[in-house]
Copies of this chain bind each other. A is one copy, B any other.
């Protein structure tokens, strides 16, 4: 099944644009797991998935957190991907970028070895670094456009022909989308930029929107500007705000509460938007 079809079906089925970021971090995880469990990370991810899977359209794993654990992190990543129900979208957030010969190896690693439905990519090298990913039918490549971090504007806001660089990247995404399915990564922390990018990309291109929650992105503005006219085609990610909502024995319940709350707020603004 094609990525957009899988996403649409799931969004409709669970009525949710929420994506939970499974960004494991020993320092923020419930301490008791490390005393009582032989594989605390897998236990943690499984509990979070069990507690939230009926509330989400997608899970996102930022590869950095897994890579920092070495070989066992890679195994954990694969086991987590396998544990996620097949009708939920899996996004591997690695922001990869390389020359063509090498990008091909990254595409193989992420789509074949680990088995994601979508990846995140950095556009700085141009189409060469993107194309090998676009060659995988049914998969989606989310290209960094305007990121959520404080120094995002340092390069991304530089003016080219009177318009910020991220506008030009958005136009590249439209162009690359003719070769294979593309989406855009736009931070919730910058609502006006989100609005501009949605206008450039039109109705059909999906946005992956991190920056809600701990990073401070506003939910109302995110839904208003990030979704299309039907209140769709946006995947709104929260990681730390959900998975680290609790730190006691009831951490999974707490994560569920946080996920319900966020999903409902998103849906409230979706209803308002659709009128």
Contact = CB atoms under 8 A, between A and B. Distances in A.
A128 interface: yes
B165 A155 contact: yes
Interface residues of A, number: 54
Copies of this chain held together in the complex: 2
B124 A151 contact: no
A175 B29 CA distance: 36
Given A64-B103, A98-B62, A152 B123 contact: no
A149 B132 CA distance: 14
Most B CB contacts (10 A, CB to CB) among A23, A64, A108, A168 go to A64
Identify the interface centre among A74, A144, A149: most chain B CB within 10 Å of its CB: A149
Interface string A119-144: 00011111111000000000000001
Interface stretch (A7-15, A156-164, A199-207, A256-264): A156-164
Name the prevailing secondary structure of the A interface residues.
helix
B154 A64 contact: no
A68 interface: yes
Interface of A: 23, 25, 62, 64-65, 67-71, 74-75, 78, 95-100, 102-103, 105-106, 108-109, 113, 122-129, 144, 147-156, 158-161, 165, 168-169, 172, 215
Q: Which 4 A-B pairs have the closest CB atoms?
A: A126-B154, A126-B151, A64-B105, A99-B149
